[in-house]
Amino acid sequence: MNNAQQTKIICFANNKGGSGKTTTCSNIGYGLAQLGNKVLLIDGDMQMNLTLSFFEEEKVLDFAQGEKNLFYAVRDQKDLTDYIVATDFDNLDIVPSSSLMSSIEYELFSKRQREYILKNCLKSIKAAGMYDYILIDAPPTLGGWVMNVLCASDELIIPVEASPWGLFGLANLFDFVNSVSDYTKNLHIMGIAITKVDTRKNYFKQTLDTLNELDDIYVFKNYIRVDSSIEWAQDNSRPVLAYRKSSRSAVEYMELTKEVDNYGSR
């Protein structure tokens, strides 16, 4: 990591469902830990897919039905330290989610300073410098909860699927991110990570051209191609980097991870 003193908080958001947010968050998280960073993952989605990337279903349901999950931490405005769970991997911890997160918008509605609840829950973890990176997986929505995720973050990575509908809606995301500047001056867009690429399709070239035309938005050099190993890895509750290190997508995710880790020195 470039600045050993400071915890960098990165969120993965895009209102387009299935754009690769969770796959990218889990693999970059695992990759950063492999590079020697201390990493905390936060599963911000009621689908619990990030938690499922590291634990079997039964365990995930235990987290979801118990008290140790993000929903209770945010609802009760608690320090997230007490909600951290170790994964099977060195230097890699997680705050699990719950399907109860479906009502988080309702819970936030009546709270004062409601845009900053997650930021406050993270305050002491950040101040203690417990982690080099905190990665937050956002749900495919734009609303009060994702506003919380953005306000808690230093950097935003936008996973975009290389497809026509993958690009549709990006404008809404940028408008939403702009509206966050009313609440925080801190958030910076780190870049767009292109996922699920089929290099045989001409459409990929068009996607790249369109994204590269966006002013002031970095497009990561390393993109991730379609690879069935990703689904096998998820079926085995592992990021593909941990499940099949030599697979195409694992190699690509490691290169993308290095780009993220070296971002400051670009």
Interface with Mg ion (CB under 5 A): 21-22, 49
Asked if 191 contacts 161 with a C-beta cutoff of 8 angstroms, the reply is: no
Strand-pairing partners, residue 150, are none
Residues within window 43-82 making contact with ligand ATP, judged by CB under 6 A: 45, 47, 49
Number of CB atoms found within 10 A of residue 155's CB: 19
From candidates 23, 37, 91, 163, binder to ligand ATP by CB under 6 A: 23
**Residue nearest Mg ion, CB atom distance:** 22
Strand-pairing partners, residue 193, are 159
Instruction: Report the nearest approach of ligand ATP to the CB of residue 52 (Å).
Output: 10
From candidates 148, 153, 234, 237, binder to ligand ATP by CB under 6 A: 234
| C-beta of 22 vs 163, nearer to Mg ion | 22
User: In Å, what is the CA distance from 23 to each residue of 120, 127, 161, 204, 231?
Assistant: 27, 28, 12, 20, 10
Q: Which of these ranges, 77-85, 119-127, 144-152, 225-233, lies near ligand ATP under the rule CB under 6 A?
A: 225-233
From candidates 7, 9, 11, 22, binder to ligand ATP by CB under 6 A: 22
Pick the closest to residue 9 from 89, 139, 120, 126 (CA basis): 126
* CA-based radius of gyration for the chain: 17
List the single partner that 195 binds among ligand ATP, Mg ion, none, CB under 5 to 8 Å by kind: ligand ATP
Instruction: Report the nearest approach of ligand ATP to the CB of residue 37 (Å).
Output: 21
What is the rounded CA–CA span in Å between residue 183 and residue 154? 13
Does the footprint of ligand ATP cover residue 224 (CB under 6 A)? yes
Strand order in the sheet with 39-43: 85-86, 92-95, 39-43, 133-137, 8-12, 155-161, 188-195
Asked if 74 contacts 60 with a C-beta cutoff of 8 angstroms, the reply is: no
What is the rounded CA–CA span in Å between residue 154 and residue 202? 35
From candidates 116, 140, 144, 183, binder to ligand ATP by CB under 6 A: 140
Q: How many residues bind ligand ATP (CB under 6 A)?
A: 20
Does the footprint of ligand ATP cover residue 97 (CB under 6 A)? no
What residue type is 93 in one-letter code? D
| C-beta of 12 vs 89, nearer to ligand ATP | 12
From candidates 17, 36, 129, 143, binder to ligand ATP by CB under 6 A: 17
Does the footprint of ligand ATP cover residue 230 (CB under 6 A)? yes
Residues that bind ligand ATP (CB under 6 A): 17-23, 45, 47, 49, 140, 195-196, 224, 226-227, 230-231, 234, 249
